[in-house]
Amino acid sequence: MRFFIDAIKISYLNLTASKFRSFLTTLGVIIGVSSVIIVISIGNSAQALILDQIKKNGSNLLAVLPGASEEKGPPAIAFGIITTTLKNRDAKAIETRGIPDIEAVTSYVTGSVLIKNRETAIQSDFQGVNSNLLKVENNVEVAEGRFFNQSEDESLARSVVLGSEKAKEFFPDQDPIGKTLTIKNLKFNVVGVLKERGQSGFSNTDKSVYIPLLAAQKLILGIDYLNAIRIKIRSEENLTAVMEEIRVLLRERHNIDDPADDDFSVRSITQALNVLSSVTDVLKYFLVAISAISLLVGGIGIMNIMLISVKQRIWEIGLRKAIGARKKNILFQFLTESVFLTLFGGLSGIAIGVLVSYLVSLVVVSLGYEWRFIVTSGSILLSFGISFFVGIVFGMYPAYKAGKVSPMEALRYE
């Protein structure tokens, strides 16, 4: 026991005798550990933000997406693959099929276009939807005016519904209902304004612009296909059965005999959550691995400094050996100093990483996002363990070199 206590005391005295050099030596470890903590914390918080937003839309939702994909993999659209086989008539067929558990069906197309009035011109994203949107989406409510009706769905009606922020951007001091906006050189009538909800996840309905589906397809985008179909069912217990019925229906309509040839994907919210969790986990740990490279650099820096320290303290090593210190005493001494340095860097890095993650959460929350500050005990233990491991690995060679020093040669060394 005395052996360990003496080594720790001597290590402490040696390292505190050159505080600035010790700090610079640990800087690489501090940066590496804090980077790991920050990446894991921000990754977990961003993942929670995305998943919470999906959950808020309801667990009884299904989505039909264009393009085939593996059941546990991301949809084709995530890879930028555009499939044009999913049509509005497919959505109509699902709605009129008579599947008893289906409550409502809505179709989507998306795009970006210049929208303007006399005073303002804004390049804005928009969505082409139908009147069933209000029945499917839990986060869309009308505050003023109305939403599209069925006759507008079935015609090229030039109507538009604005999110609360978009309404203020175009009509800051006016009632927007009944006013006109120019979209792709066509006049659209503002028929409604949505209720203000604030930022929720990475989406913000306050900045939305909704146009009747056919008008968006024919007049603005010049397409006849859909980006998605969303279906609300009455009970999530029947999700699997409804999904299979939809697959059978779409295969009939698209003349597909082999499921391997599907040109669409049917996903539930649960599946979307699992896929998103998998994708974000991969990205998160990839970034952690990149951040950990700085720990390797820090470990090499510690090894270099410890080798220099062996050279500078050769006389001390010789003296200690001359009065009875064994090779294992010298080896353990230098190894202890290396571990001391990395543990100090690790603890400092953990503290800095937690602080920066907390400050990031404050900034993101101030921007209106529902951001949660998440620092897990696992990430702290991982960082602490990595620091200890780096100290052992990169301190081993300098300690070995110190243990091999001959006492006679060391005492003659100048």
Which domain-ending residue is among 212, 229, 262?
A: 262
pLDDT at residue 260 in the model: 82
Considering only CA atoms, give the Rg of the chain.
32
The fraction of the chain above a pLDDT of 90, given in percent, is: 13
Q: Taking residues 168-186, report their average pLDDT.
A: 89
34 within a domain of the structure (yes/no): yes
Q: Where are the alpha helices (DSSP H) in 99-209?
A: 133-136, 150-153, 164-170
73 within a domain of the structure (yes/no): no
pTM given for the model = 0.60
Residue with tokens 């795009």: 111
The answer to whether the beta carbons of residues 181 and 190 sit under 8 Å apart is yes
Coil, strand, or helix at residue 146? Answer: coil
Greatest mean pLDDT among 106-110, 170-174, 345-349: 106-110
Distance from C-alpha of 143 to C-alpha of 127, rounded to nearest angstrom: 19
CA quadruple 248, 249, 250, 254: dihedral positive or negative?
positive
Tell me the residue length of the chain: 414
Distance from C-alpha of 146 to C-alpha of 141, rounded to nearest angstrom: 10
What's the burial of 274, exposed, middle or buried (CB within 10 Å: 0-12/13-18/19+)? middle
Residues 244 and 114 occupy one common structural domain: yes
60 within a domain of the structure (yes/no): no
124 within a domain of the structure (yes/no): yes
Residues 13 and 151 occupy one common structural domain: no
pLDDT tens-place string over residues 216-243:
999 999 998 999 998 888 877 777 888 8
Q: What is the 3-state secondary structure (H, E, C) of 59-111?
A: CCEEEEEECCCCCCCCCHHHHCCCCCCCEHHHHHHHHHCCCCCEEEEEEEEEE
Q: What is the 3-state secondary structure (H, E, C) of 233-299?
A: ECCHHHHHHHHHHHHHHHHHHCCCCCHHHCCEEEEEHHHHHHHHHHHHHHHHHHHHHHHHHHHHHHH
How many domains does the chain divide into?
A: 2
Coil, strand, or helix at residue 313? Answer: coil
Residues 292 and 316 occupy one common structural domain: yes
Residues 331 and 357 occupy one common structural domain: yes
CA quadruple 211, 215, 221, 227: dihedral positive or negative?
positive
19 within a domain of the structure (yes/no): yes
Strands 180-183 and 102-116: antiparallel
Greatest mean pLDDT among 35-44, 192-201, 328-337, 398-407: 35-44
Range of the domain at 138: 84-262
Residues 158 and 13 occupy one common structural domain: no
Residue 85 token pair: 């086989």
Q: Taking residues 269-273, report their average pLDDT.
A: 67
Residues 281 and 257 occupy one common structural domain: no
pLDDT tens-place string over residues 155-172:
888 999 999 889 898 988
Residues 90 and 224 occupy one common structural domain: yes
Distance from C-alpha of 225 to C-alpha of 278, rounded to nearest angstrom: 29
pLDDT at residue 60 in the model: 76
Rounded to a whole number of angstroms, the distance between the first and last alpha carbons of the chain is 34
Backbone angles phi, psi at 111, to 5 degrees: -170, 180
Residues 230 and 285 occupy one common structural domain: no
66 within a domain of the structure (yes/no): no
Which domain-ending residue is among 206, 231, 262?
A: 262
